[in-house]
Amino acid sequence: MNTAKQYGKSSVAKLVKHKKVIVFGIFAVDISFYTSREVEAGETLIARDSKIGPGGKASNQAIASKKLGAETLLISRLGNDNFKDYAIGVWEKIGLKYLISIDNKNPTGKAGIFINNKTAENRVIVDPGASQNLTIKDFSLNQHLFNEGDIFLTQFEQGAETTIACLKKAKKKKMLTIFNPAPFNKISRDVFNYCNIITPNQVEAEQLSGLELKGKSDIKKAMHKIADLGVEKIIITLGKKGAAVFENNNLFYSHGKNFGKAIDTTGAGDCFNGALASQLALGKEIKEAVDFACSAAALSVLKKGTAESMPSLSMIKKFSSPKSK
């Protein structure tokens, strides 16, 4: 496979006393359709609106992290097509650093998203495209740029073997590893030994634990079952209800925030993960970082789109100020 390495040249102010956030995973172009209801099998439904924008979990998370104040580097893979130029333009506009390999055989990833206008809930189909061919080499060739204590964040949109290998390498390099197991995939038990923090949503936590999470007692049981697999810290995101956090055998909750009517929940989980990583990189303790991430995610649902809905630091300060409450 022919590849070429391309480097971002954006100038980013260095945060002297802070750690970097390294995000590994895919970029995809999101094609979103806003509908009045769910489409039935065999039916053609006229959308009320549509939108094309930047997406892919890793790219979304990296953009959120950068916009919220952390020095952030995205490692990804793109096709040699117009969407490659589009992605680079998005990243450079906000000053996000990136390291990408170019795939001359496979196209840049794409996602089809259906959003119900009434509930703001979404259904997503992703074709990772070139990003599916990300390998451990994409991480290893650049590991000289990573320092002990830097934050490594990845997901499951690229190949499972690559994801696990990168987590293992990052942990060995003494980076703080965050694994967002989405979309859920078969997981080797070994992977849990390489995760400092795992961030499933409620559905993924049910799949990991084998338990149905109907209430707080179920969440507590699930936390213990996941912890027994070898994870140090567990954060289960609960949508508008906030997040549950398990650390040092203690369980606490960060309550969800409500800043207005939700318009599009697509990317809220990515916003949470990017915000969490940014605050840990900036030296915040996990409780403060999770509270902040809940606020960021709550703001992201007020706008259409994924990457485009990631809030800025000034936006969070504005909505979190006493005058706005």
- Phi-psi group of 100: left, alpha or beta (phi > 0 → left; psi -120 to 50 → alpha; rest → beta): beta
Contacts of 322 by beta carbon, 8 Å cutoff, 6+ apart = none
Q: What is the DSSP letter of 201?
A: B
The pLDDT tens digits along the chain (325 residues) read: 444 455 454 433 343 457 999 999 999 998 888 888 888 888 788 888 888 889 999 999 999 999 999 999 999 999 999 999 999 999 999 999 999 999 999 999 998 888 888 888 888 888 889 999 999 999 999 888 899 999 999 999 998 899 999 999 999 999 999 999 998 877 778 888 899 999 999 999 999 999 999 999 999 999 999 999 888 899 999 999 999 999 999 999 999 999 999 988 889 999 999 999 999 999 999 999 999 999 999 999 999 888 889 999 999 988 876 555 5
Contacts of 127 by beta carbon, 8 Å cutoff, 6+ apart = 28, 109, 110, 111
